[in-house]
């Protein structure tokens, strides 16, 4: 049996400064001969507490002692690839205290997040979402849960709407159809992670409110993680399958929940924006959204979007110029117009959804929607239609938007016994063309939205009105 080599003086005794000879004390052994396999593998001292040592207790590892096993068998057991307890100890998911499913969701997030959350033409922002954010996964519960929620929702969106309710995961994190009790339903998984994320968002906001810390980096870190989680959780809401319509009031719709949550969040967040924009760690959360003036003048100044012009004229004809609501309507229309140009310029369809996020910054506009004010509903209907039509680059289904679109259609049926005007009807035709035929409209087609859909569909596709 080999022993560790200890360096000692040639003489058994050594002299101290007073001339007295003192016996040299040998260093104590750093490792225990009878320690558990976990401590032996890591070459650390085991305190040999039984049934579980201090290290395994703290790290939640399985504590296995080599009782009644000779040294040769111990060595064989430590290196054996077929030893099940050690396979578990060596498992990444066991070491990180996460399930195999959660590891799969993390890997899936890395694969799709760059394209989903970042401007495709900018490598820096792409890297931030798919490389930098996963680095926070192991040390932040709010990031961890938000990644799991959006990944499971994105995975669910890949399945046919007819079967997604039956998609489950087995113990190895492999998706299959529901054929056994106790398996994890993918839709429920996503909703549970999303709800947990929103609980943590509320908690983080309280931390900001109650914080007396003067350390700017503490605030920066909390706010940065809070904003990341908010975007991932909102992405989850968008990706989840179309809700089943019942007798819900408009304030209970998914899009209204997001708008109210965004308004509350903005109250906490706005004052911290300058900190994060200057942050080395979180500044890439703020992609460029303003088109350079020279490019705007060349590309878009003379471009007229027919549906935007239609909305502006509609407000002018139906609302008194001095009515405060005129400002609310025109501001919302302006957000939508800017979102259209940004989508075409940056090849970034999420900019269309961001126009709704900007509308959420005004509680007066949200109140108009909740009170079923027709013009505000019309503006939001156009925004939801555009998102439904052009978000195909990110996901195929658009239930989040379809819920409101169907509501507006029923709203017009009650008020006008059908569509109010041809633009409303034509835009709905574009939505049907997208959802029924999965026809991939190019982003440049935004400028044609509102025209009759027939000429933009491939031959043989019928649009049901």
Q: Is residue 449 helix, strand or coil?
A: strand
- Statement to judge: residues 244 and 362 lie in one domain: no
Q: Which of 242, 255, 257, 254 is nearest to 396 (CA)?
A: 242
Give the Cα separation of 29 and 45 in Å (integer). 9
Which residue segment(s) compose the domain that 403 sits in?
Answer: 293-448
> Residue 458 has what pLDDT?
53
Lowest mean pLDDT among 233-247, 267-281, 325-339: 233-247
Q: Confirm whether 372 is domain-assigned.
A: yes
Angle at 371 between CA 354 and CA 247, to 5 degrees: 90
More confident residue, 116 or 418: 418
Q: Confirm whether 61 is domain-assigned.
A: no
- Statement to judge: residues 242 and 337 lie in one domain: no
Phi, psi of 451 (to 5 degrees): -85, 160
Q: Confirm whether 28 is domain-assigned.
A: no
Q: Which of 152, 111, 156 is nearest to 129 (CA)?
A: 111
Give the Cα separation of 398 and 169 in Å (integer). 24
pLDDT band of residue 1 (cuts 50, 70, 90) is very low
Q: Confirm whether 48 is domain-assigned.
A: no
pLDDT in tens, 289-340: 789 999 999 999 999 999 999 999 999 999 998 999 999 999 999 999 999 9
**Taking residues 177-195, what's their average pLDDT?**
77
Q: What sections of 118-253 are H helices per DSSP?
A: 123-127, 141-156, 186-210, 216-239
pLDDT band of residue 273 (cuts 50, 70, 90) is confident
Highest mean pLDDT among 43-52, 135-144, 308-317, 338-347: 308-317
- Statement to judge: residues 258 and 125 lie in one domain: yes
Q: Confirm whether 13 is domain-assigned.
A: no
Phi, psi of 177 (to 5 degrees): -90, 155
**Taking residues 80-92, what's their average pLDDT?**
44
More confident residue, 218 or 215: 218
**Taking residues 263-278, what's their average pLDDT?**
84
**Taking residues 387-402, what's their average pLDDT?**
74
- Statement to judge: residues 250 and 352 lie in one domain: no
pLDDT band of residue 96 (cuts 50, 70, 90) is low
- Statement to judge: residues 136 and 226 lie in one domain: yes
More confident residue, 417 or 181: 417
More confident residue, 445 or 242: 445
Lowest mean pLDDT among 96-110, 342-356, 384-398: 384-398
**Taking residues 190-195, what's their average pLDDT?**
93
> Residue 202 has what pLDDT?
87
Average pLDDT score, the chain: 79
Cβ count near 287 (within 10 Å): 19
Tokens at 249, concatenated: 């009031």
- Statement to judge: residues 126 and 254 lie in one domain: yes
> Residue 349 has what pLDDT?
85
- Statement to judge: residues 298 and 275 lie in one domain: no
Note whether 208 and 216 are within 8 A (CB): no
Q: What percent of the chain has pLDDT over 90?
A: 38
- Cβ neighbours of residue 273 closer than 8 Å, sequence gap 6 or more: 286
- Statement to judge: residues 110 and 134 lie in one domain: yes
pLDDT in tens, 432-443: 888 776 566 788
Burial 225-252 (b: 16+ CB within 10 A, else e): bbbbbbbbbbbbbbbbbbeeeeeeebee
Highest mean pLDDT among 77-86, 114-123, 154-163, 226-235: 226-235
More confident residue, 170 or 293: 293
- Statement to judge: residues 131 and 201 lie in one domain: yes
Q: Confirm whether 316 is domain-assigned.
A: yes
Q: Confirm whether 22 is domain-assigned.
A: no
> Residue 287 has what pLDDT?
80
Tokens at 67, concatenated: 């009782």
Cβ count near 50 (within 10 Å): 9
Number of structural domains in the chain: 2
Lowest mean pLDDT among 237-246, 277-286, 298-307: 237-246
pLDDT band of residue 444 (cuts 50, 70, 90) is confident
- Statement to judge: residues 385 and 258 lie in one domain: no
pLDDT band of residue 77 (cuts 50, 70, 90) is very low
Give the Cα separation of 420 and 409 in Å (integer). 10
- Statement to judge: residues 260 and 393 lie in one domain: no
Q: H or E segment at 175?
A: strand 175-177
Q: Which of 263, 193, 253 is nearest to 229 (CA)?
A: 193
Note whether 352 and 387 are within 8 A (CB): yes
pLDDT band of residue 29 (cuts 50, 70, 90) is very low
pTM of the model: 0.74
- Statement to judge: residues 320 and 220 lie in one domain: no
More confident residue, 19 or 394: 394
Tokens at 165, concatenated: 């309710």
Q: Confirm whether 237 is domain-assigned.
A: yes
> Residue 48 has what pLDDT?
85
Domain end (from 251, 269, 285): 285
pLDDT band of residue 256 (cuts 50, 70, 90) is very high
> Residue 220 has what pLDDT?
85
pLDDT band of residue 67 (cuts 50, 70, 90) is low
Note whether 153 and 109 are within 8 A (CB): no
């Amino acid at each position: 049996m080999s022993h560790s080599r200890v360096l000692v003086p040639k003489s058994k005794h050594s002299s101290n400064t007073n001339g007295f000879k003192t016996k040299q004390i040998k260093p104590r052994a750093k490792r225990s001969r009878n320690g558990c396999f976990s401590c032996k593998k890591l070459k650390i001292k085991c305190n040999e507490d039984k049934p579980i040592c201090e290290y395994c207790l703290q790290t939640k590892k399985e504590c296995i002692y080599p009782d009644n096993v000779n040294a040769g068998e111990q060595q064989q057991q430590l290196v054996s690839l077929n030893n099940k307890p050690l396979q578990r100890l060596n498992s990444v998911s066991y070491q990180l205290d996460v399930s195999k499913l959660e590891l799969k969701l993390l890997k899936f997030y890395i694969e799709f997040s760059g394209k989903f959350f970042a401007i495709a033409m900018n490598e820096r922002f792409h890297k931030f979402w798919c490389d930098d954010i996963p680095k926070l996964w192991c040390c932040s519960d709010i990031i961890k849960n938000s990644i799991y929620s959006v990944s499971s929702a994105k995975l669910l969106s890949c399945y046919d709407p007819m079967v997604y309710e039956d998609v489950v995961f087995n113990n190895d994190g492999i998706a299959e159809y529901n054929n056994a009790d106790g398996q994890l339903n993918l839709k429920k998984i996503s909703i549970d992670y999303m709800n947990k994320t929103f609980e943590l968002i509320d908690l983080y906001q309280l931390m900001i409110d109650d914080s007396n810390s003067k350390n700017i980096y503490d605030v920066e870190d909390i706010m940065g993680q809070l904003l990341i989680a908010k975007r991932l959780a909102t992405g989850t809401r968008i990706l989840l399958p179309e809700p089943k319509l019942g007798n819900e009031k408009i304030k209970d719709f998914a899009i209204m929940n997001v708008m109210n949550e965004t308004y509350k969040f903005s109250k906490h967040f706005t004052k911290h924006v300058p900190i994060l924009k200057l942050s080395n760690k979180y500044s890439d959360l703020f992609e460029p959204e303003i088109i350079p003036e020279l490019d705007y003048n060349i590309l878009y100044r003379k471009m007229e979007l027919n549906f935007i012009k239609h909305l502006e004229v509609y407000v002018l004809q139906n609302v008194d110029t001095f009515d405060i609501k005129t400002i609310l309507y025109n501001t919302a229309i302006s957000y939508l117009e800017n979102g259209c140009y940004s989508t075409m310029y940056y090849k970034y369809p999420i900019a269309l959804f961001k126009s709704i996020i900007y509308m959420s910054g005004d509680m007066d506009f949200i109140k108009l929607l909740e009170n079923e004010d027709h013009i505000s509903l019309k503006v939001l209907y156009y925004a939801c239609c555009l998102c439904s039509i052009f978000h195909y680059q990110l996901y195929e289904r658009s239930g989040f938007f379809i819920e409101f679109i169907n509501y507006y259609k029923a709203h017009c049926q009650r008020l006008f016994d059908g569509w109010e005007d041809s633009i409303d009807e034509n835009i709905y035709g574009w939505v049907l063309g997208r959802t029924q035929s999965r026809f991939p409209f190019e982003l440049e087609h935004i400028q044609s939205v509102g025209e009759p859909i027939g000429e933009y569909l491939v031959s043989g596709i019928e649009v049901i009105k």
